[in-house]
Structure 1
Amino acid sequence: MIIDLDDLSTSETYFAMTQAIIPRPIAWVLSENGAGDYNLAPFSYFNAVCSDPPLIMISLGKKPDGTPKDTRVNIEARGSFVVHIAGVEQIQPLNASSATLPAGESEITHLGLELAEFPGSRLPRLAECRLAMACELYEVMELGPVPQALVFGRLTHLYIEDGVAEQDSKGRLKIHADRLNPLGRLGAREYFAGGEIITLPRPA
């Protein structure tokens, strides 16, 4: 089967890409609403893009009514946000947090999630997540006719639950993926969990 993307509509292209580019990590993003509470939303167009400075990128579309998503509005207005890597056990609240709520209404409150202090971050983190990244807005770029917003965030602090990470024999940070048990995104309504970990030596 050969698919020419020029023959597809924008929605058909999205549907094809999200099934072909798998599995994808999910950024579960906490940002601050103007009302003084917090917005929470998952995004799977997300990855690391640079180590110096330490940057991640999240790609955000728009709401069904064409207005910018609350996450973008909050980040551009206040600069700080926290990206969580959800474990498999958080699949239900993560999926539920993708629903469109009225602007300013908090998914944290709506879903009954707990927050915890995040030293080094102006914002809290989700208490149940084993890994969180404190970020500051670095740059926003727009691509395409819609347009799609690329939000680049500079990582400032990591929270890693005790027991999930340790130092390896070279003194470097080693995060145990099996203990983190991260949730991944596939296409349509599908998620990815519990994949086999294969360890190979790096070629000389």
Structure 2
Amino acid sequence: MIIDLDDLSSTETYFAMTQAIIPRPIAWVLSENSAGDYNLAPFSYFNAVCSDPPLIMISLGKKPDGSPKDTRVNIEARHHFVIHIASCEQIHQLNESSATLPAGVSEIEQLGLELAEFPGSPLPRLADCRLAMACEFYEVKELGPAQQALIFGRLTHLYIDDQVADQDHKGRLKIHADRLNPLGRLGAREYFTGGEVITLVRPA
């Protein structure tokens, strides 16, 4: 099968890409609105892009009515956000947080999630997430006719549950993926729930 993307609509292209680029990490993003309420939403167009400075990228579309998503509005206005890496047991809460709610309605309250202090961050983190990243707004770029927003954030602090991380034989940080058990995104309604961890020696 050969697919020419020039022959596809933007919606068809989206479905093809999200099923071909798999698995994708999911950024479960907490941000704050002007009233001081917390918004929570998942985004799977997400990855690391630079380590000096330490930058991540999340890509956001728009709401069905064409307005910017609350996450973008909050980040651009207040410049701080927290990205969580959800574990597989949080799949239902993460999925529910993807619903489009009226601005000002907090997914945190709707889902009964607990927050915890995040030293070094002006925002809290989800208490039950084993890995969280405090971020500062760095830059935004808009791409394409639909004005897809690429938001770049600078990582400032990491929270890592002590049970999923320690040091390797060289004294470097070692996060154990099998203990973190991260949730990944596939196409359509599908998610990825881990698998075998294979360790290989890198060629010289």
Q: For 2:76, give the aligned amino acid.
A: E
Secondary structure of 1:166's aligned partner? strand
| Residue equivalent to 2:139 | 139
Residue by residue over 1:79-109, the C-alpha shift from the partner in whole angstroms, topping out at 9 and shown as x without a partner, is: 0000000000000000000000001110001
Q: CA deviation at 1:33?
A: 1.2
Q: CA deviation at 1:24?
A: 0.1
| Residue equivalent to 1:109 | 109
| Residue equivalent to 2:174 | 174
- Residue 36 (structure 2) pairs with residue 10 (structure 1): no
CA distance in 2, matches of 1:150, 1:113: 27
Q: Higher mean Cα deviation, 56-65 or 165-174? A: 165-174
Secondary structure of 1:73's aligned partner? helix
TM-score normalised according to structure 1 size: 0.99
Secondary structure of 1:163's aligned partner? helix
Residue by residue over 1:146-201, the C-alpha shift from the partner in whole angstroms, topping out at 9 and shown as x without a partner, is: 11000000000000001111111111100000000000000000000021111100
Q: For 1:35, give the aligned amino acid.
A: A
Residue by residue over 1:2-52, the C-alpha shift from the partner in whole angstroms, topping out at 9 and shown as x without a partner, is: 000000000000000000000000000000011111000000000000000
* Matching of residues 31-42 of structure 1 within 5 Å: 31-42=31-42
| Residue equivalent to 1:121 | 121
| Contact 2:184 2:194 survives alignment (8 Å) | no
- Calculate the aligned-residue CA RMSD, in Å: 0.4
CA distance in 1, matches of 2:103, 2:175: 36
* Matching of residues 165-204 of structure 1 within 5 Å: 165-204=165-204
* Matching of residues 41-190 of structure 1 within 5 Å: 41-190=41-190
| Residue equivalent to 1:30 | 30
CA distance in 2, matches of 1:194, 1:7: 34
CA distance in 1, matches of 2:129, 2:183: 11
Unaligned runs of 5+ in 1: none
CA distance in 2, matches of 1:193, 1:96: 17
* Count, aligned residues: 204
Identity of aligned residues (%): 86
TM-score normalised according to structure 2 size: 0.99
CA distance in 1, matches of 2:33, 2:76: 11
Residue by residue over 1:128-162, the C-alpha shift from the partner in whole angstroms, topping out at 9 and shown as x without a partner, is: 10000000000001100011000000000000001
